[in-house]
Amino acid sequence: AYAYLFTPEGRLITEEAYERLKTIGEATELGSGFKIAMRDLEIRGAGNMLGTGQSGHIAAVGYDLYCQLVTEAVAELKGESPPEPVEISIDLPVAAAIPADYMPKEELRLEAYRRVASAQIPDEVDDVAAEWADRYGPVPDIAQTLLDVARLRCECLRTGVREVTVAKGPGFGGPKWVARLSPVELRASRRVRLERLYPNATYQEVAGLLVLPIKSAATAAEPLIAALRDLVPEDQPAKAAAS
């Protein structure tokens, strides 16, 4: 069976209505009713679940944890083992956020943050960026930085890197900023490539530590993404990179 839903011609719909229609359009599998209900709960806010007030602030405090617990419980009932969450620490001295004047509604900003944080591959981040530009206009620099950090996280997921830090260099004629990535496993051919493309970088094989000089902390994510793509091939499993 098929259902066709039309919005009134010439009338603008609210952002919440847009999100609801989008959810219905994406829910094409059997048993999607629960997914739609949960998405609606997320859009409108669950309110104070332990009292009479309906403030919606649980969306900012505990909703992600609640969704995680539900996912784990459903997986347990199905006899499945929920995947262990991957912890990646990225410490860059940059401002990365979604400005309130760009995306005024708090619940939509929270949803946007969730989508960025849940991205597993760069294409998913690109989809988010395209949607923002379509709905809210050109992406401001501070939000673009957030997207760049998300792309860097995707590369960390792919390569097995679990920690990235950028700090000031030692000075005395050395690089102004230094990035440290670990653990990183470089094959012999890639070490040669490292020496050729990044002559000022250092690699400690035993510790799995890669130290790269970078020109600017403000745009640190871009060169780090490029370096990981240059040095860790697509066919190298993340497990090997993380060992």
Rg (CA), the chain: 22
Q: Is 201 helix (H, G, I), strand (E, B) or coil?
A: coil
Q: What is the number of structural domains in the chain?
A: 2
Most confident of 1-10, 51-60, 64-73: 1-10
We report the CATH number of the domain holding residue 114 as 3.90.1150.50
pLDDT band at 77 (very low <50, low <70, confident <90, very high): confident
* For residue 62, pLDDT beyond 60: no
Report the pLDDT value the prediction gives residue 27, as an integer from 0 to 100. 75
Report the pLDDT value the prediction gives residue 54, as an integer from 0 to 100. 40
User: Domain boundary residue among 77, 104, 128?
Assistant: 77
Question: CA nearest 113: which of 135, 33, 105, 86?
Answer: 105
Report the pLDDT value the prediction gives residue 67, as an integer from 0 to 100. 66
∠118-185-236 over CA atoms, to 5°? 65
User: Domain boundary residue among 77, 100, 122?
Assistant: 77
Question: CA nearest 19: which of 99, 103, 97, 96?
Answer: 103
100 in the same domain as 29: no
Q: What is the pLDDT of residues 200-215, one digit of tens each?
A: 999 999 999 999 999 8
Is 5 domain-assigned?
A: no
pLDDT band at 25 (very low <50, low <70, confident <90, very high): confident
Report the pLDDT value the prediction gives residue 217, as an integer from 0 to 100. 84
- Residue range 175-198: average pLDDT? 91
* For residue 141, pLDDT beyond 60: yes
User: Domain boundary residue among 36, 56, 77?
Assistant: 77
Q: What is the pLDDT of residues 96-138, one digit of tens each?
A: 889 989 998 877 888 888 888 888 999 999 999 999 999 999 9
Peptide bond into 183 cis (omega under 30): yes
Asked if 240 and 233 count as a contact pair (C-beta separation under 8 A), the reply is no
Report the pLDDT value the prediction gives residue 31, as an integer from 0 to 100. 66
Report the pLDDT value the prediction gives residue 176, as an integer from 0 to 100. 83
Domain that holds residue 103: 89-242
45 in the same domain as 23: yes
145 in the same domain as 218: yes
Strands 163-168 and 202-204, sheet pairing: unpaired
∠163-182-225 over CA atoms, to 5°? 75
Report the pLDDT value the prediction gives residue 50, as an integer from 0 to 100. 39
Is 49 domain-assigned?
A: yes
Instruction: Round to whole Å and give the CA distance between 199 and 118.
Output: 35
- Residue range 153-157: average pLDDT? 93
176 in the same domain as 221: yes
What are the helix (H) ranges across 119-207? 122-136, 141-159, 188-197
Residue type, 85: P
Mean pLDDT rounded to a whole number for the chain: 81
Report the pLDDT value the prediction gives residue 41, as an integer from 0 to 100. 64
> Tokens at residue 14, please?
């609210």
Report the pLDDT value the prediction gives residue 39, as an integer from 0 to 100. 67
* For residue 48, pLDDT beyond 90: no
Instruction: Round to whole Å and give the CA distance between 160 and 32.
Output: 33
95 in the same domain as 65: no
Which has the higher per-residue pLDDT, 170 or 151?
151
Is 71 domain-assigned?
A: yes
* Helix 122-136 and helix 106-118, axial crossing angle in degrees, nearest 10: 160
Is 4 domain-assigned?
A: no
DSSP annotation of 51 reads S
Instruction: Round to whole Å and give the CA distance between 154 and 138.
Output: 23
Minimum mean pLDDT among 5-14, 57-66, 110-119, 181-190: which range?
Answer: 57-66
Report the pLDDT value the prediction gives residue 241, as an integer from 0 to 100. 42
Is 198 domain-assigned?
A: yes
95 in the same domain as 138: yes
Q: How many residues does the chain have?
A: 243
195 in the same domain as 119: yes
24 in the same domain as 131: no
117 in the same domain as 69: no
Is 109 domain-assigned?
A: yes
185 in the same domain as 238: yes
100 in the same domain as 65: no
Is 178 domain-assigned?
A: yes
Is 214 domain-assigned?
A: yes
68 in the same domain as 184: no
